[in-house]
Amino acid sequence: MAVDMDIGRVEMAFTRQLEARRLEELRGELGYYLSAHPHPALGEGALFIGESFETYSLSVDGIARAAHGVDLASCLVKTGNWQHQILRKGQPAAIAYSGTRGDMRDSWHIRGVVVSPVAAKIDRAIQWIDRQRPEDKIEVFFFIAPAFQLQAFLLKGFSVEEVLIVLNPFRSGLLDEGFVYSPSAMATPLSTSKPAQGVTAPTASRK
């Protein structure tokens, strides 16, 4: 999935992009945020905002619908938030989360920055899409199933949907990270599994 780092342009496999002016706001705010919340892993070298993804949520009800053959894209719900790959020396180092300030729809800000190995997993998933679907015209959605702490990319083509698992921390061997599944093959085992304890879905609005 080829993304221009500066303006967020995607070729072939494409995803919805945050407005350029929003990205400029975030670039300016990133330095201020890290000054107030320093992290030793991000202390040296310039940082850049890489790929950005609108974040969708897949609820338990959405999982059940997908398991019964409903298009997965129609089961996803917008969270109103975005997440961004933070690059240091060209490598994924952290993830930034952004969104509006409450009801101030014209004000965009960084909600948090997390240094996590998930950034590298997302980067590997992007590279997989580049290698394995280089000529495919597919729309890419990044989604989280909060009840199972699962993160994945939906690859939506003209007539086919695929799910590339990015993170599945508790169910090794059920849905393996870095593997591709049909939506029903992804959703069916989850629909019969017990959700993680103490996990609730984020506030979301219908896509």
Tens of pLDDT along 163-181?
A: 999 999 876 668 999 999 9
- Whole-model pTM: value is 0.84
Q: For residue 100, which phi and psi values (nearest 5 degrees)? A: -80, 160
Convert the pLDDT of each residue in 23-77 to its tens digit. 888 888 888 888 888 888 887 778 888 899 999 999 999 999 999 999 999 999 9
Distance CA 102, CA 116 (A): 26
Q: For residue 193, which phi and psi values (nearest 5 degrees)? A: -105, 160
Distance CA 5, CA 51 (A): 7
Evaluate if residue 152 carries a pLDDT over 90. yes
Residues 6+ apart with CB under 8 A from 125: 153, 164, 166, 178
Of residues 196, 194, 139, the one with CA closest to residue 162? 139
Distance CA 110, CA 153 (A): 22
AA letter at 44: E
Of residues 117, 121, 204, 201, the one with CA closest to residue 164? 121
Convert the pLDDT of each residue in 83-139 to its tens digit. 999 998 889 999 999 988 766 566 788 889 999 999 999 999 999 998 888 766 889
Distance CA 50, CA 55 (A): 15
Give the residue extent of every domain in the chain: 2-206
Q: Which two tokens stand for residue 14?
A: 């494409």
Distance CA 165, CA 145 (A): 11
Under a CB-based contact definition with an 8 Å cutoff, are residues 72 and 161 in contact? Answer: yes
